[in-house]
Amino acid sequence: MRKTILLIIATFLSITFLIVEYFEIRRYMCLKYSKETNMKLLEKYSTLPKGSDNKTIISVYFDYTRIKELIGLLNSILDQTVKVDQINLIAPLRDISKIPENFKDIFTIIPCDQKDFSCKAEERVSGGSRTDRSGTEFRAKVLQTCLLNEDERDTNIIIISSYDILGKDFVFDLLNFSNNNQDYIIVTDNSVCLKAYMTSCDNNLNISYTFKTKKMS
């Protein structure tokens, strides 16, 4: 009798795991190969609870040569369990005209002068390679632009540095981890989460940090 019960439990857990795995894979494939921003996700996103009491912004660097990947990432940001106050697209001045029109209705477009950016700050944050085009370079540019455009020092700034599809609870987990480790700048393989007061940016666009980093696995 006991073996039968254990077998039933094991079978139930296996089926549950397969169902969860199926829907995660299905979600990934649907978002990864989206051809445009999903308006249904946008409508749903507006009804989600906020991920933090403080203002929170997510910023992504706009690379028009990877627009298909970017659409997938942006849809995965909209397909979260919590929402943020603002989603920024940081775009070089020369590429502003290449941004799809529907992006401008959904996201905050922030132009940047690409030649003014330096990667020194990001190398200190993540220890990443200066040549990592989707990580080190992008994070530095996006972070510097965010700091120059953000007045509220308690704002949560999330920098997404790759175009990978985000897990459904990514933003919730990141903000929760940051809230439980308030003396640290939180880093993951594809993001940085910090409060604006943790950094300063001088007139030469050099960023200095007064807080240590902690990785969220």
The span from the CA of 146 to the CA of 196, in Å, is: 9
**3 residue type, one letter:** K
| pLDDT tens, residue by residue, 63-98 | 888 888 888 999 999 999 999 999 999 888 888 888
Q: What does the pLDDT average to over 9-13?
A: 62
Q: State residue 80's pLDDT score.
A: 95
DSSP state of 85: S
Domain boundaries, the chain: 1-32, 37-215
Q: State residue 208's pLDDT score.
A: 66
Measured at the CA of 153, the angle between CA 180 and CA 160, to 5 degrees, comes to 65
How far from chain centre, in Å, is Cα 108?
A: 14
pLDDT at 178 over 90: yes
CATH match for 37-215 among 1.10.3470, 3.30.300, 3.40.50, 3.90.550:
3.90.550
The model's pTM:
0.76
Banded model confidence at residue 15, pLDDT cuts 50, 70, 90? low
Q: State residue 122's pLDDT score.
A: 38
DSSP state of 116: G
| pLDDT tens, residue by residue, 117-163 | 433 333 344 433 333 334 445 555 666 677 666 777 889 999 888 88
